[in-house]
Chain A
Amino acid sequence: MGAIQGLEIRRSSASLRGGGTMLRQQPTVAKYIDTTICIGCKACEVACQEWNDLPLVKTEQIGTYQTTPTLQPNFWNLIQFREVDTGPTGFAWLLRKDQCMHCADPGCLAACPAPGAIVQYQNGIVDVDPEKCIGCGLCEPGCPFDVPRYTARDNKMAKCTLCVDRVTVGLEPACIKACPTGCLQFGDKDSLLALGHHRVGQLRENGFAQAAVYDPPGVGGTSVITILRHGDHPEWYGLPKDPSVPTTVSLWKRVLHPIGFVAMAAAIFGAIGHFMAFGPKKPKEGGEA
């Protein structure tokens, strides 16, 4: 699917002024994942495959309650399962919904060299347009969550679209629709954050003093907010502790690019200036140099 035409674009890859008009007011949408009441039923995985018409992925038994080892180009929603030793007296089975986090400051979009191949809509959804994707794979080093996957045929990037086609017409994403426990919710981010903080309060009262909302500020926050019982240890869930756009991507886009432009201009103007100052060097007339 290409970029959704009816949605206002906030940011577009490799485009200096390629976004939208910024006129339309749209709330930032979000997906709310309460890992404390996820039962690991995988209904969201199936709903994602069905709605997005993705070919079935071959399951792989890795000794846990997990469908495949990682996300795949045709498998965008994975319930990860981890057995964690939580301390001297503790032990936990942790479930976490792995998918594109829809960062407010998306590293993939910053790293992408193809104009319009990765877009961020005004409502915060980060989407890929395979028609414009050139299959270079540069978005992967930009992603702090290891989400981008590449198709076998031509390396096009594929990932969760937050069901932008459903959201555009007022429906909730397929995974949310399928969830039987209410662990998944969809709505505008502000009210879901309020719900998240309420839920964290409940958890803290009930013995989980470290419970927290995972909405990492290093990437400007995410449109997938996750409630963690062990909020002080996101790595137990396979989430990076303080994710940010990688420094090499910033170095490359914010430092090397300006240096490159200055060096290129300096070379061209330097040659012209040198010619005017020192003129051509040619043999003297008459042959005797």
Chain B
Amino acid sequence: MSEIGARAPTVMDVAREREDVLVGEEIVRHKLSSRLIHWTVAIFFVGALLTGMPIWSPVFGWMAYLFGGLSVCRWLHAWLGVAFSVGTVVMFVAWVSDMKFDANDRKFSFIDYLKFSAAEDPEVGKYNAGQKLFFWSVLAAMLVVLLTGIPLWWPKEFGWRLRQVCIVLHDVGFIFWFVAIVGHIYLGTAAEPGTFRSMTRGTVTKPWARLHHPRWFREVTGGRR
């Protein structure tokens, strides 16, 4: 026991409890609880997607067999949707303080950002405006899809005229989500190397932080280079 207690805390030890700190050459970007809630929400999201898509179109009928058939999907989809919504609310509470738009975010141009060539705005903090927009739109879409999903879950309790409208809005929310999640996964993995580890190990490198989030880098390192 004494040996373990005596050693200096490693970056992994720190990353369990704290974030936005420099440990050696690594910066902790997401502490363990942040990473857990992200992956919990992600798993429920993918589950709801895979159980919903075979109901959306027979083209994706094969997905239903992953869960035991379409009649399983019919109830599992609803429960996964509820679990996803609860997880999203927890994630919202945990992250909302970092997600407020500031004056600097108004200058953000998604087109310029996607060109990848221009130097990053030096005033970009822990999250850029695109990430904040993704956060808020996931929440908005969650509310739309949850509220329209409830009448579809209990057909006998709600009128069919209401359910007609719900089907259309539920579909619109799904299509938005599919596009958004492809962009989110792409930008978090292949497009920007060094990003994915911030959601697994929890840390990023100094050059990564300096490139993508310059103001956050200065805040964490206290202005040192």
**Is B137 engaged at the interface, CB distance under 8 Å to the other chain?**
no
Contact B171 A256 (CB under 8 A): yes
For the complex, give the distance between the alpha carbons of A261 and B179 in Å: 11
> Could you say which of B56, B172, B183, B208 contacts A271, with CB atoms under 8 Å apart?
B183
Contact A271 B168 (CB under 8 A): no
Contact A280 B58 (CB under 8 A): no
Contact A289 B210 (CB under 8 A): yes
Contact B164 A281 (CB under 8 A): no
Contact B186 A251 (CB under 8 A): no
> Could you say which of A140, A252, A268, A287 contacts B160, with CB atoms under 8 Å apart?
A140
B59 → A minimal CB distance (Å): 8
B211 → A minimal CB distance (Å): 5
- In chain A, what residue has the closest Cβ to B170? A252
**Is A43 engaged at the interface, CB distance under 8 Å to the other chain?**
no
> Could you say which of A115, A261, A289 contacts B61, with CB atoms under 8 Å apart?
A115
Contact A264 B167 (CB under 8 A): no
Contact A275 B179 (CB under 8 A): no
Contact A252 B167 (CB under 8 A): yes
Interface centre among A275, A279, A289 (most CB of B within 10 A): A289
Q: A150-B155, A267-B182 are in contact. Are A289 and B167 (CB under 8 A)?
A: no
**Is B39 engaged at the interface, CB distance under 8 Å to the other chain?**
no
Chain B 181-216 interface mask (CB, 8 Å, partner A; 1/0):
011001000111110000000000111101110000
Contact A281 B205 (CB under 8 A): no
B45 → A minimal CB distance (Å): 15
For the complex, give the distance between the alpha carbons of A248 and B156 in Å: 19
In the assembled complex, which residues on chain B have CB atoms less than 8 Å from the CB atom of A141?
A: 160-161, 163-164, 167
**Is A134 engaged at the interface, CB distance under 8 Å to the other chain?**
yes
**Is B145 engaged at the interface, CB distance under 8 Å to the other chain?**
no
- Which chain B residues in 20-56 approach chain A with CB under 8 Å? 55-56
**Is A239 engaged at the interface, CB distance under 8 Å to the other chain?**
no
Interface of B is mostly: helix
Contact A136 B192 (CB under 8 A): no
Q: A246-B164, A252-B167 are in contact. Are A150 and B156 (CB under 8 A)?
A: yes
Q: A115-B61, A280-B192 are in contact. Are A137 and B156 (CB under 8 A)?
A: yes
- In chain A, what residue has the closest Cβ to B166? A141
B46 → A minimal CB distance (Å): 15
Contact B171 A252 (CB under 8 A): yes
Contact A16 B171 (CB under 8 A): no
Chain B 104-120 interface mask (CB, 8 Å, partner A; 1/0):
00000000001111000
Contact A256 B58 (CB under 8 A): no
Chain B 52-83 interface mask (CB, 8 Å, partner A; 1/0):
00011111010000000011011000000000
Contact A259 B175 (CB under 8 A): yes
> Could you say which of A134, A256, A283 contacts B172, with CB atoms under 8 Å apart?
A256
For the complex, give the distance between the alpha carbons of A267 and B182 in Å: 6
**Is B178 engaged at the interface, CB distance under 8 Å to the other chain?**
yes
| 27 A-B pairs with C-beta separation under 8 A | A134-B70, A134-B73, A136-B55, A136-B74, A136-B152, A137-B163, A138-B152, A138-B155, A138-B163, A138-B167, A141-B167, A252-B171, A256-B171, A256-B175, A257-B56, A257-B57, A259-B175, A260-B56, A260-B174, A260-B175, A263-B175, A263-B178, A263-B179, A267-B178, A271-B191, A280-B193, A283-B208
B residues whose Cβ falls under 8 Å from a Cβ of A: 55-59, 61, 70-71, 73-74, 114-117, 152, 155-156, 160-161, 163-165, 167-168, 171-172, 174-175, 178-179, 182-183, 186, 190-194, 205-208, 210-212, 225
